[in-house]
Every structure is written in structure tokens, then in C-alpha cells.
Structure 1
Amino acid sequence: MADSDDLGPSFRIYVIFMIVLTVASLALRFLSRSLLPSSRQTPRYRWDDWIALGAGVLISAQLAIELAMIPFGFGRHIWTLQPGDLPKFLKLLFASYIVFHFAIALPKVSALLFYSRVFPRHVNSTLFNSALWITHAANVAWVLGCTIGTILACEPLAEGRNESLYGVCEPDTPYWTGSAVSSVIVDFAVLVIPLPKIWTLQTSMGRKTGLTVIFVLGYSVIVVSLGRTITGIISKDALGSDPTYLTIRVFYWASAEVPISILSICLPAMLPLARHINRKYLEPLTTRIASYTSRFRQDWTGDTTYRLESITTDYEPTDSAVTHDSRDELINR
């Protein structure tokens, strides 16, 4: 490994893209919701929308902290840092951990509230309602446990923010692995809960399949969560020796996990926007193209028929006359 290794610039571009993805996902979600009819009983914007917006604010804050870490050595080897860089880096790293836990938990809350809205309590089975509340409880327990665990992970507590004490915190403690694995389990529960309800809907098989695909693709964040977990487990022994350089591998996954979680919960909410675009723009465009194609085909067919008839009509007398004159000429000769 060369002292000149610096992953910071490329990571900065990556994080900026994730911020844009987060903002765009939320903007499209709220635009889609604005197209729905509104009344006092059924407002356009519900609790799951506002929770998603709060998650977006936390995600943007977490990504901003990551950008702030780069000037203090994030992406460079620890032995190349300037004096005073490491304490600032550790403080920002600690803050990013705390914000990350809440940023990744809120989208799950929004998804569960969305399920409660589209599948009202009075039409659900006891099992389904219990599953929703148990998953809510598991998510809350996860974020509280991870936050407390992060604060208590260093001995003494100040070590995580103090350069002179650096080295006592163990990044390979079971806490880090346990928090990552339990997060995947909660993600999986959020993904699976609505699927049985979709397949009991009184609708066509194609529509059920389409809704299933939307929900599964919508909550594809579980793949990123697995990637972060596996990368953290594989790299845990090396993170303690060069945290400013090697930790960035895990942060690539973490930086994608939170924005994709927002995109995941926003995709189903974008269906009204998709229907609006299809009805107002795509269907008229398709109709216009079909009409133009049909008219062109009719015009081309009619014009071709006319030209063929014209050619035949013009040719036959000429040919007949030529043949008759030639025969008379031959006879007279």
C-alpha cells in the first residue's frame, strides 16, 4: 500500500450522487402524492410520508458528515494524516454511527406505516397485525440497542473521540456483527410481511405478480444491507489497524444502504405519478403514433394501387398499338 493512496475524491463523488438520489426519490414521492384527491378524512400526505421525509433529512445529514470526514483523512492511510486530523475524524465517525442508526431505522417505520394504511387493521388477520407490531418493536429495539452499544463500545467511553486513547476500541467485537445481522433480519421481515396480503387480493394473476415485483424491487435495500454486513465481517480484523483507509469499504455500502432504503419505500408511493404520466402523456402519444401509422399505411396502400392501375392503363394501349402497327408493317412488307 502506497502512502499516496487516497480514496477520498472518488468517495466524495459517490456520496454526492447518493444525496441526489435521496432528494430525487423524496421529491417524486411527494409529487406523486400531490396528484391524489384530498379531503379532511383522507389527506394527501400521511404519516408514512412525513416519516420518510424525516428519514431523508437524517440520511442527508449522515452523508454530509461523511463528506466532512474526507478533509480529515477519510480515504487515506492513518500514518499519512496531519497532526490533529485523527481526533476530528474520530468525532465525525462517532457522529456518523449515531445518525446512521436512526437514518436506517426510520425508512422501516415508514414502510410499516404504509402497510398499515393500505391494509387497514379491521380487514387483517390477527397474525398480520401482530407481525406488524412485532416488527415495529424489533426495529425500535434495534436502533436503541445500536445507539447504546455505540456509546458503550469504547473503554473508557471517551476513547472513541480521543486520539491519545486510540486503540482500545475493538472494531471486531460481537456487537458490530450482531447489529449488522439483526438489521438484515428486520429488513427481511419488512420485505416479507406484505407478500401474503398481495396474493389474497381479488385481482388478476398478472396484477398480483406486478405488485409483488414492485414490493420486492422496492425493498431491494436488503441486498445492500447484506453487502454491508458481509464486508464488515470480512474486514473487521483489518479495520483497527488502518481505520481511516479501510473503513471506507464499509462506508461505500452504508452510504448506499440509506438512500436506497428511501428509494425502496418511495417506489410504491410513486404509482399515482406513474399512472398520471401514462394517462396524460404515454397513452395519447401511443394513440397518435398508431393513428399516424394507420393513416400512412392507408395512404401508401391507396397511392400504390393508384399508381399500379395508372401504369397498367397507360401501358396496355401503348403496347397494343405498338404491337398492331408492327404487325401491319410486317404484313405490308
Structure 2
Amino acid sequence: MSSTQGSAPAETRAGQIYALIGAVLPLCIIAVSLRFYSRLKYTHIGVDDILCLLATVLFICLTVATFLAISFGMGSHIGDVRPENGIKMEKCGFTSQLLYPPLLGLVKVSILMFLNRILPTVHSWKTPLKCLAAFVALAETAFFFTLIFQCQPIHAYWDRAMPGRKCINQPAFYYVDAVFNIVFDLVIIIIPSVIFRNLNLPKKQKYGVIALCSVGIFTLVSSVIRLPYLLNLNQSDDPTWAVVNIVLWSNAEASSAIILSCIPTMKPIYVSIRQRYWPQTSSTNGNNRKPQSSNTSKYWRSFAAPASVTDKTEGAAQYRQVDEYSMDSRPGVGAK
């Protein structure tokens, strides 16, 4: 007998979504909490931190919308979804679509602002980073409003039986959105490598840059994998079942971007713990460290562990370390 007759529970993929979100959501909250703990204890809150926090709030909202959609039938076969729940599920899906572009946009801009923050006050990359951040913000805003008005009237999105319903070519829009994300994931991969390529840093001290690059790598892979699911969703005879693949990869992409973007900010916590519980090891590593060039030292001090404020004069400029992630450039002593 079929599940619709009540003899057996309906088949569902909801467990896959619960398992993924149950794993990544706590990790996101922990990562952002540690980020803010590090900032408050060792330095100060910056624009990049606020943007990351806002992205996390949107991710929590996305999770709520996803769970509500599951309660209305998402993850089940379309034949097992009650007709009265169909519109409710579509409204949850519409909400999720609206949350996704600003979520990813906030993470991308946060990463760009982080890179801008760790550079000296005067640096050739600061203006390009700000311009890229502004472009990402404008593009994601455009995607957001396009999604709001993708159907005319707006409620025609979830009321598919409405007479005279008009909607944009959704597969084409998803393709444009995905290509945009792929391109900027590549940009985020490349930029840190370009900025830090001339620095002769010890291997362990490059983990922060690697973490930033890995954000772009994973989101790039996720976007590529998610694209065919997006394009084929409208052609599926069982969309409430097929959409789970999109939900899984979308949540994995967003959560990993948040978590990995927080990793570089946790270095002071790691170093503080190492110095507290393994002080001899830290001292030995410091004594055995090879001297770095002045150029390398200047940049890497922006990733340094918590330390007393120090001054370093280099030619006509003096760089004062105001915290472990930012540098303040001011005229050197005796500079004219």
C-alpha cells in the first residue's frame, strides 16, 4: 500500500539536510564567536568583523526558512506533499532565495575588507580592494532585487496557478548568478596570492593566506557542482525531492565561507594558548626562526600574535603596530 494511505511513512531526504545544518551551524557560531573574542581581547572590531557577523545572522535565517520548508514537505516526493502546504513551502523557498545573495555578498566583502585592513595605510592594493568590494555589494544588491521581482506580481512566484502569471527566465538568471560567483571566487583565490607572493614567510605563517584562498576554492567547487542542479530543477518531475541537492550545496558553500574566513583572525588565540601551555616550545621556535627581510616583516606583523605595541622606522616612514591585523603608517621620527 502507498504511503498516502497511511500504512507507511513517506520517503524523505530531510535527514540529510538536518545532518548537514546540525554540523555546520554550530561550527559557524563557534568560529564567529572566537573571531569576536580575539578582536575584543587583542585588538578592536572592524568592518570586516561586522560584515561576517551579519552574514552569520542571515545564515541562521536561511536555516530557519529551510527547516520551515521541510515541515511543509520539502525533501519529500511531490506526490506526498499536501496541496495546502505547497504554497507555504514555495514562500519558504522564496525567502531562502532572497537571503542567499546578500549572505554570500557579505562574506566576500568581509574577506576583501580583511585584506584591506591588514595592509599598511598606504598601499597600491587598498583602492582596488575597496572598488572590488563595492562592485560585489552592488552586484549582489542587483541580484537581490531581481529575485524579489522575478515574478509579476510578486506573489505569483508561489501561486503558480495565477492567471497571467509572468516570471523571468529563471534558469538563465541562475546561470548568470552562478557565473558571477564563480568569477569572484577565482578573484578571492588569486588576490591573496598576488599580494603576498613576494613575502618570504615561514610555511606555518602562511596558513592565514591559505585559509582565505580556500574560501574561494571551496565556494568555487560548490558553485560549479550546484549549477547543473539549479538549471535542471525546473525540468524535474519531482522538484520537492530534487531541490535537496541545491539546499545541501548552498548551505555547505555559505557555512564554509563563514568558517574559513574566520580562521586567520584566530591566530592570536592559538599563539596565546601555545605561549601559555608550551612556552619553551614557543621560545625555541622564536630563537630558531630565520631573520626575515624588512618587507616580509612589515607585512607579516599584520598577522602577528598579540604583543606590545612597537615602533619600527623604515626610511622616511614609521609603521606602528596598533593591533595584530592592521598597520598604521605615519611619518617617521625626524622625517621631513
Q: TM-score, normalising length from structure 2?
A: 0.73
Once the two structures are superposed, the pairs formed by residues 63-212 of structure 1 within 5 Å of their partners are 63-122=63-122, 124-125=123-124, 128-165=125-162, 169=167, 172-201=170-199, 203-204=200-201, 206=203, 209-212=206-209
User: CA-to-partner distance for each residue in 1:100-154, whole Å, 9 max, x for gaps?
Assistant: 11111111111111111101341x22xx234313321331232122112212322
Which SS does the other structure have where 2:161 is aligned? helix
> Residues of 1 paired with 2:89 and 2:281: CA distance?
54
Is the Cα contact below 8 Å between 1:142 and 1:179 reproduced in 2?
no
Which SS does the other structure have where 2:45 is aligned? coil
> Residues of 1 paired with 2:282 and 2:51: CA distance?
38
Is the Cα contact below 8 Å between 1:18 and 1:256 reproduced in 2?
yes
1:59 maps to which residue? 59
> Residues of 1 paired with 2:77 and 2:194: CA distance?
49
Is the Cα contact below 8 Å between 1:72 and 1:89 reproduced in 2?
yes
> Residues of 1 paired with 2:92 and 2:207: CA distance?
43
Which amino acid in structure 2 is aligned with residue 214 of structure 1? A
Q: Larger C-alpha radius of gyration, 1 or 2? A: 1
Which amino acid in structure 1 is aligned with residue 110 of structure 2? S
Is the Cα contact below 8 Å between 2:211 and 2:261 reproduced in 1?
no
2:277 maps to which residue? 281
> Residues of 2 paired with 1:189 and 1:149: CA distance?
24
Task: Kindly state the Cα deviation for residue 227 of structure 1 after the two structures are TM-superposed.
Answer: 2.5
> Residues of 2 paired with 1:135 and 1:270: CA distance?
25
User: CA-to-partner distance for each residue in 1:169-201, whole Å, 9 max, x for gaps?
Assistant: 577531111111101212221232222221233
Which SS does the other structure have where 1:255 is aligned? helix
Identity %: 22
Greater RCO between the two (CA within 8 Å, min separation 6)?
1
Judged with a 3 Å threshold, the aligned counterparts in structure 2 of structure 1 residues 67 and 140 are, in CA distance, closer, same or farther, namely: same
Judged with a 3 Å threshold, the aligned counterparts in structure 2 of structure 1 residues 237 and 164 are, in CA distance, closer, same or farther, namely: closer
Judged with a 3 Å threshold, the aligned counterparts in structure 2 of structure 1 residues 213 and 147 are, in CA distance, closer, same or farther, namely: closer
Of 2, 5, 16 in structure 1, the residue corresponding to residue 11 of structure 2 is 5
2:253 maps to which residue? 257
User: CA-to-partner distance for each residue in 1:26-69, whole Å, 9 max, x for gaps?
Assistant: 11212222341x5xxxxx21121111111111111111110111
Q: CA RMSD in A?
A: 2.7
Which amino acid in structure 2 is aligned with residue 271 of structure 1? K
Extract structure 1 runs of 4+ deviating beyond 6 A: none
Is the Cα contact below 8 Å between 1:218 and 1:265 reproduced in 2?
yes
> Residues of 2 paired with 1:214 and 1:108: CA distance?
14
Task: Kindly state the Cα deviation for residue 163 of structure 1 after the two structures are TM-superposed.
Answer: 4.8
Is the Cα contact below 8 Å between 1:221 and 1:264 reproduced in 2?
no
> Residues of 1 paired with 2:181 and 2:234: CA distance?
21
Which amino acid in structure 2 is aligned with residue 83 of structure 1? P
The answer to which structure has the higher helix fraction is: 1
The answer to which structure has the higher strand fraction is: 2
Is the Cα contact below 8 Å between 1:171 and 1:237 reproduced in 2?
no
Question: Is 1:24 matched up with 2:22?
Answer: no
> Residues of 1 paired with 2:45 and 2:202: CA distance?
30
Judged with a 3 Å threshold, the aligned counterparts in structure 2 of structure 1 residues 230 and 59 are, in CA distance, closer, same or farther, namely: same
Residue segments in structure 1 that go unaligned for 5+ positions in a row: 39-43, 288-333
Task: Kindly state the Cα deviation for residue 231 of structure 1 after the two structures are TM-superposed.
Answer: 3.4
Judged with a 3 Å threshold, the aligned counterparts in structure 2 of structure 1 residues 205 and 277 are, in CA distance, closer, same or farther, namely: closer
Which amino acid in structure 2 is aligned with residue 185 of structure 1? V
Which SS does the other structure have where 1:84 is aligned? helix
Which amino acid in structure 1 is aligned with residue 104 of structure 2? I
Task: Kindly state the Cα deviation for residue 205 of structure 1 after the two structures are TM-superposed.
Answer: 5.4
Give the paired residue count.
274
Question: Is 1:226 matched up with 2:224?
Answer: yes
Is the Cα contact below 8 Å between 1:232 and 1:250 reproduced in 2?
yes
